[in-house]
Structure 1
Amino acid sequence: MFSFLAFLVTTPLTFILLPLIIAWFLKNRTTKRILYGIVIVLTLVFTNTPLLKMAEEQWYKEYDHPLPEGKTYTYGIVLGGYSFWDWERNRPEFSGIADRLTEGIRLYKCGRIEKLVLASDGSIIHSKDGKGLQGNPQGMMKYLNELGIPKEDIILETFANNTRENVTFTKELLGKEINTAPVLIITSAVHMKRSVSAFQAEGIYPDCYITDTWVNVKGQSVSFLPSVGTLLQWPELLHEWVGYVVYKFLYS
């Protein structure tokens, strides 16, 4: 039930269709017109790409900066959501946020992090009861080894189903050292604020490295024309807003 309510709250179509449905049943013409006007405004808002860009950039602005010059980290924690294991072809299949992992690998290769920690993901998750999602931790370990990362520098957390569990289970896995060693979180820009709040609730104060930011492409401007694609992007940000408020309420 909670998941269904969360889905409704984080879906722009809920806000667009609700006044439309209410207007359908009302007889008062003035009220109908007001509600139809609200529908039009909300549709224009949620299909406006520059507005979404501005909202997301403001949301992750405080984390959008280079790493401290010369600083190295004991653990680089890559938060999951970037892949699933393709059992048919025996390899990971990556999504559009794969640079969470690729940047983690690059930072390891550059010597900025000593241990690469994958904090659960569809490619490595291991449902304890065998009924949920099943990744392939051994296969992903082999994949990373083939990219030149030795087994002793890879730590896999394989049970978390959400960001809060990412923090709890990773802390259990790494032990007390996570509270004193330099730690870097690597995740998508809009996901960072909620992730940081979850880590801080456990007494962990990491540095942050964001991926999946908006890119200002030279020679290409962001269109103000309504975009269905933009409408489909809003749930990610709404999910982060709601999740952040919930985390603050429950764990602060």
Structure 2
Amino acid sequence: MFSFLAFLVTTPVTFILLPLLIGLIIKNRKWKRGLYATAILLALIFTNTPLLKKAEEQWYKEYDRPLPEGKTYKYGIVLGGYSFWDWERNRPEFSGIADRLTEGIRLYKCGRIEKLVLASDGSIIQSKDEKGLQGNPQGMMKYLNELGIPQEDIIMETFANNTRENVTFTKKLLGKEMDTASVVIITSAVHMKRSVSAFQAEGIYPDCYITDPWVDVKGQRISFMPSVGTLAQWPELLHEWVGYIVYKFLYS
């Protein structure tokens, strides 16, 4: 039930359809016109790409900065969501946020982090009752070894199903050292604020490295024309807003 309510709250179509449905039910013509106008306005808002870009950039702007010059970290924690294991082809398949992992690998290769920590992901997750998602941590380990990262420098947390569990289970896996070791978390720009709040709730204050932010492509202008693709992107930001509020309410 909670998951369904969360889905409704983080789906912009809900906000567009609700006034339309109410407008169909009520008989007052003045209220009908107002509700229909509200639905049209909301549709224009949620399909406006520059508005979404501005909202997301404001959400992550405090974390949009380079790592301190010359600083190295004991742990680089890559938060999951970037891949699933393709059992048919025996390899990971990556999503549009794969740079969470690729940037983690790059930082390791550049000597900025000593240990690459994968805080759960579809490619490595292990459902304890074997009824949920099943990744292949051994296969992913082999994949990363083939990219030149030795096994002793890779730590996998394989049971978390959400960001809060990412933090709790990773802290349990790394032990007390995580309280004092230098840590950087690597995740999507929009996901960073909620992730930081989850870490801070556990008494961990990491540095942050964002991936897949909005990019201003030279020679390309963002259109103000309504976009269905933009409508499909809004749930990610709405999910982060709702999750952040819930974390603050439950864990602050």
Shared fold, TM over 0.5: yes
Hey, what does 2:63 align to over in structure 1?
63
Q: CA deviation at 1:163?
A: 0.2
TM-score by length of 2: 1.00
Hey, what does 1:218 align to over in structure 2?
218
Look up the equivalent residue of 2:152 and give its one-letter code.
E
Q: Distance in 2 between matches of 1:164 and 1:66?
A: 25
Hey, what does 2:161 align to over in structure 1?
161
Q: Distance in 2 between matches of 1:97 and 1:75?
A: 20
Q: CA deviation at 1:116?
A: 0.1
Hey, what does 1:77 align to over in structure 2?
77
Residue 140 (structure 1) aligned with residue 140 (structure 2): yes
Cα deviations by residue, 1:178-234 (Å, 9 ceiling, x for unpaired): 110100000000000000000000000000000010000000011000000000000
Hey, what does 1:94 align to over in structure 2?
94
Hey, what does 1:238 align to over in structure 2?
238
* SS of 2:176 mapped into structure 1: helix
Q: Distance in 2 between matches of 1:220 and 1:137?
A: 40
Hey, what does 2:193 align to over in structure 1?
193
Hey, what does 1:42 align to over in structure 2?
42
Q: Distance in 2 between matches of 1:28 and 1:224?
A: 34
Q: Distance in 2 between matches of 1:25 and 1:245?
A: 33
Look up the equivalent residue of 2:99 and give its one-letter code.
D
Q: CA deviation at 1:141?
A: 0.1
Cα deviations by residue, 1:91-128 (Å, 9 ceiling, x for unpaired): 00000000000000000000000000000000000000
Where structure 1 has 5 or more consecutive residues not aligned to the other structure, the ranges are none
* SS of 2:172 mapped into structure 1: helix
Q: Distance in 1 between matches of 2:43 and 2:87?
A: 40
* SS of 2:229 mapped into structure 1: helix
How large is the Cα RMSD of the aligned pairs?
0.3
Q: Distance in 2 between matches of 1:155 and 1:66?
A: 24
Q: Distance in 2 between matches of 1:177 and 1:209?
A: 21
Q: CA deviation at 1:31?
A: 0.3
Residue 202 (structure 1) aligned with residue 216 (structure 2): no
* SS of 2:175 mapped into structure 1: helix
Over 6 Å off, 4+ runs: none
Hey, what does 1:28 align to over in structure 2?
28
Q: CA deviation at 1:84?
A: 0.2
* SS of 1:148 mapped into structure 2: coil
Q: Distance in 1 between matches of 2:22 and 2:209?
A: 44
Where structure 2 has 5 or more consecutive residues not aligned to the other structure, the ranges are none
Q: Distance in 2 between matches of 1:31 and 1:227?
A: 28
Q: Distance in 2 between matches of 1:219 and 1:135?
A: 41
Q: CA deviation at 1:56?
A: 0.1
Residue 179 (structure 1) aligned with residue 179 (structure 2): yes
Q: CA deviation at 1:80?
A: 0.1
Tell me the percent identity: 87
Total equivalences in the alignment:
252
* SS of 1:219 mapped into structure 2: coil
Cα deviations by residue, 1:137-162 (Å, 9 ceiling, x for unpaired): 00000000000000000000000000
